[in-house]
Amino acid sequence: NKRWYRLHENSVNWYGGKAVKIFIAFDITESKIKDCREKNIHNLLRNIADNAPDMLWSKDMEGRYLFANKAICNNLLMANDTSEPIGKTDVFFAQRQRDLHPDDKNWHTFGEMCESSDIPVLEEQKAMKFEEHGNVKGEFICLEVHKAPLYDVGGNLIGTVGTGRDVTRQRTLENELRTL
């Protein structure tokens, strides 16, 4: 069986006129195995999330991203990668897009609505469904959004988790059918 040890070197002691180094070995096999399992689970979940077509995220109590998958980064936030949103809000990304296109006030109108729909989820501490819409890169989009409270291992409310699916085409077709 393989074992992992952490060695600590203690001070040099004189023993019988000779210098002796003392090493203490700590068996860290169990914590090493646990770390490997946690990394594998993290990698598995990251791969699943980044290959999902829906937008997936989690936010803290102040609406700052704790997690974002590739779909939300590419389709809503215009983030460079999945680490960029961490610690930032929807408004940060919306404002960045607006600043890039100051001549077009309808370039990016998503942002504030996303944060305001976190409020009832946090207040009522239950899962909810929303329809959110606005412009992204100058194009109107409609998202079906599901949000739920996020708790830590101690049962404390720490934020929200959410999914978003672009239902723009579906809503457009439904509206066209109503007018027939």
pLDDT tens digits for range 65-107: 999 999 999 999 999 999 999 999 999 999 999 999 999 988 9
| pLDDT for position 151 | 97
Contact by Cβ (8 Å): 76, 68: no
Q: Which residue has the tokens 């102040």?
A: 62
**pLDDT bracket for residue 20 (50, 70, 90):** confident
- As beta bridge partners, residue 106 has none
| pLDDT for position 32 | 83
| pLDDT for position 115 | 65
Measure the CA dihedral 168/114/52/60, to 10°.
180
Which tokens sit at 120? 């009832």
61 has a pLDDT exceeding 90: yes
**Average pLDDT, whole number, for the chain?**
90
28 has a pLDDT exceeding 90: no
- Quickly list DSSP for 81-107: STTTTBT--HHHHHHHHHHH-TT-TTS
| pLDDT for position 102 | 93
| 12, 66, 157, 165 from 154: Cα distances, Å | 45, 18, 9, 31
Instruction: Tell me which DSSP letter residue 86 carries.
Output: B
pLDDT tens digits for range 91-150: 999 999 999 999 998 898 887 666 689 999 999 999 999 999 999 999 999 999 999 999
Query: Pick from 116, 117, 164, 120: which is nearest to 142 by CA?
Result: 164
